[in-house]
């Protein structure tokens, strides 16, 4: 049973409930502009703190999303930048290979070195060119820096090359000055023997200064003449007063070679000019720059002459009715009107 106080309570509740319902229905069925006006007024007055709070929250969320996006972009950029030096190096190596291929005066086959993740990688190389491309056994393998090795076996689409680091590798060689001949082989000194070459069989009387370049001599008919093999960096030993063995820093590194050229013909040719020294390369670069500058200056002079001619024609046209004669030296066509000649230039 409900007490009198509870009944009063219920009556007041009912009134409040009906009032709220009525107001709600009024809002619901009132015209939209009225509702919008009320909402706008409320947003600008009593609810403005809540709107402010919500705005801050949205800004915070947006900032967080943008921060995450910026962080992701930065990480991606850093990841890509890691590959930039290696890409540049590979690009430079390919350019060098292209330049070498232009300088070579014998037939060659380009090939990729398929490195294997094994400890013996560097001694024997798997190349991506084979019999189909014209590769045969004992074809020399070179890189822009110098001699890499020689082909050991050939299949249809690939071949295996023995690099200079292989214990059985030998090449007949001579110094660039031409005063000493010998045989280059991998060094047995220092344990692994893979980091250096030895220039053996040099007569005791033929002293070779440090820094002298050693090239293949072409003797034996396997390697053409003039391919850089290494640079003298010291004396390994002297054999009983009649022979000196020199240590060479190899010209090319098979472990890092990614692209090579396999020479497939003309083993009697002299490839010396195809492998210029650093000073020669620098001289060639300077020469090409000078040629470009000369060409630029000539083009500049021609442009200046044409501009001067245009100016003189424009000055002369009011007097001569636009029919000024043009000079064939400056590329003008006397039969054409000045405007056409100018546009044609």
Partner 1 sequence: MSPSRVSKIQLLMVMLLLVVLQFYLRPRLWDARVSPDFLLIALMLFAMRTSPGIAALAGFVVGLIADTLTPARFGAGALAHTLVGYLGSWGRSVFFADNILVNAAFVAAGLWFRDLIVLVASGTDHRQVITELTLYSPLQALTTAGFALVVLITFRSMFSIRLDA
Reported as type and span, the H/E element at residue 261 is: strand 259-263
Q: SS3 for 40?
A: helix
126 binds partner 1 (CB under 8 A): no
Would you give the distance in Å from CA 85 to the centre of its chain? 8
Kind and range of the H or E run holding 283: helix 278-320
Q: Does 26 bind partner 1 (CB under 8 A)?
A: yes
Of the candidates 192, 208, 187, 124, the residue with the CA atom closest to the CA atom of residue 159: 124
Q: Which of 38, 87, 137, 295 binds partner 1 (CB under 8 A)?
A: 38
Q: Does 51 bind partner 1 (CB under 8 A)?
A: yes
Which range touches partner 1 (CB under 8 A), out of 49-57, 76-84, 99-107, 287-295?
49-57
Using rule CB under 8 A, residue 8 touches partner 1: no
Cβ density class 330-343: b for 16+ within 10 Å, e for less: eebeeeeebeebbe
Q: Please select the residue that binds partner 1; options are 32, 119, 319, 335, rule is CB under 8 A.
A: 32
The window from 54-62, 182-190, 262-270, 271-279 that contacts partner 1 (CB under 8 A) reads 54-62
Q: Does 48 bind partner 1 (CB under 8 A)?
A: no
Single out the residue of 1, 2, 5, 54 in contact with partner 1 (rule: CB under 8 A): 54
Question: Could you say whether residue 155 binds partner 1 (CB under 8 A)?
Answer: no
Q: Is position 30 an interface residue for partner 1 (rule: CB under 8 A)?
A: yes
Beta strands in 101-221 (DSSP E): 108-114, 124-127, 140-143, 146-154, 159-163, 171-175, 181-186, 197-203, 213-216
Cβ atoms within 10 Å of 109's Cβ, excluding its own: 21
Q: Which is nearer to partner 1, 17 or 83 (CB)?
A: 17
- CA–chain centroid gap for 310, Å, is 45
* Only segment of 31-39, 74-82, 241-249, 326-334 that touches partner 1 (CB under 8 A): 31-39
**What is the nearest approach in angstroms of partner 1 to the Cβ of residue 66?**
14
Site membership for partner 1, residue 35 (CB under 8 A): yes
Counting Cα atoms < 13 Å in the Cβ hemisphere of 39 gives 9
- CA torsion angle for 152, 103, 121, 237 (degrees, to 10)? 90
Q: Which of 1, 2, 29, 125 binds partner 1 (CB under 8 A)?
A: 29
Residues 335 and 304: their CA atoms lie apart, in Å, by 23
68 binds partner 1 (CB under 8 A): no
Q: Are 151 and 262 in contact (CB under 8 A)?
A: yes
- Binding status of residue 9 toward partner 1 by CB under 8 A: yes
Minimum Å gap between C-beta 65 and partner 1 is 10
Number of residues that bind partner 1 (CB under 8 A): 36
CA distance 225 to 309: 57
140-143 vs 146-154, strand pairing mode:
antiparallel
Q: How far apart are the C-alpha atoms of 212 and 196, rounded to whole Å?
A: 15
Is position 66 an interface residue for partner 1 (rule: CB under 8 A)? Answer: no
Query: Of the two residues 58 and 311, which places its CB atom closer to partner 1 in the complex?
Result: 58
Residue tagged 């490839």 (tokens): 271
Q: Does 7 bind partner 1 (CB under 8 A)?
A: no
**Coil/strand/helix, residue 328:** helix
Which stretch in 7-15, 67-75, 263-271, 317-325 sits in contact with partner 1 by CB under 8 A? 7-15
Q: Is 107 in the site for partner 1 (CB under 8 A)?
A: no
If the CB atoms of residues 66 and 132 are measured against partner 1, the closer one turns out to be 66
Stretch that binds partner 1, among 10-18, 75-83, 155-163, 330-338 (CB under 8 A): 10-18
> Which residues contact partner 1 (rule: CB under 8 A)?
9-10, 12-17, 20-21, 23-30, 32, 35-36, 38-39, 42-43, 47, 50-51, 53-54, 56-58, 60-61, 64
């Amino acid at each position: 049973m409900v007490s009198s106080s509870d009944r009063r309570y219920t009556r007041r509740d009912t009134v409040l409930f009906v009032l709220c319902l009525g107001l709600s229905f009024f809002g619901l069925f009132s015209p939209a502009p009225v509702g919008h006006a009320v909402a706008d007024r409320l947003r600008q007055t009593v609810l403005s703190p809540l709107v402010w709070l919500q705005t801050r929250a949205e800004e915070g969320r947006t900032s967080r999303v943008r921060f995450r996006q910026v962080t992701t972009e930065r990480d991606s950029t850093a990841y890509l930048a890691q590959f930039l030096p290696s890409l540049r190096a590979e690009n430079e190596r390919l350019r060098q290979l292209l330049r070498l291929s232009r300088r070579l005066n014998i037939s060659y086959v380009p090939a990729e070195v398929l490195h294997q993740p094994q400890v013996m990688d560097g001694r024997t190389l798997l190349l991506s060119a084979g019999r189909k491309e014209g590769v045969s056994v004992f074809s020399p393998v070179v890189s822009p820096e110098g001699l890499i090795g020689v082909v050991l076996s050939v299949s249809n689409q690939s071949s295996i090359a023995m690099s200079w680091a292989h214990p059985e590798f030998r090449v007949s060689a001579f110094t660039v000055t031409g005063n000493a001949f010998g045989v280059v082989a991998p060094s047995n000194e220092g344990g692994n023997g893979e980091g250096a070459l030895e220039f053996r069989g040099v007569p005791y009387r033929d002293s070779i200064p440090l820094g002298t370049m050693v090239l293949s001599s072409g003797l034996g008919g396997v390697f053409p003449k003039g391919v850089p093999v290494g640079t003298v960096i010291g004396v390994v030993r002297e054999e009983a007063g009649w022979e000196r063995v020199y240590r060479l820093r190899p010209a090319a590194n098979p472990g890092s070679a990614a692209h090579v050229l396999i020479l497939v013909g003309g083993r009697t040719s002299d490839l010396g000019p195809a492998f210029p020294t650093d000073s020669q390369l620098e001289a060639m670069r300077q020469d090409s720059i000078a040629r470009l500058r000369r060409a630029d200056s000539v083009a500049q002079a021609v442009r200046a002459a044409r501009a001067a001619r245009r100016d003189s024609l424009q000055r002369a046209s009011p007097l001569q009715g636009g029919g000024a004669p043009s000079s064939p030296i400056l590329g003008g066509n006397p039969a054409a009107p000045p405007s056409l000649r100018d546009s044609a230039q």
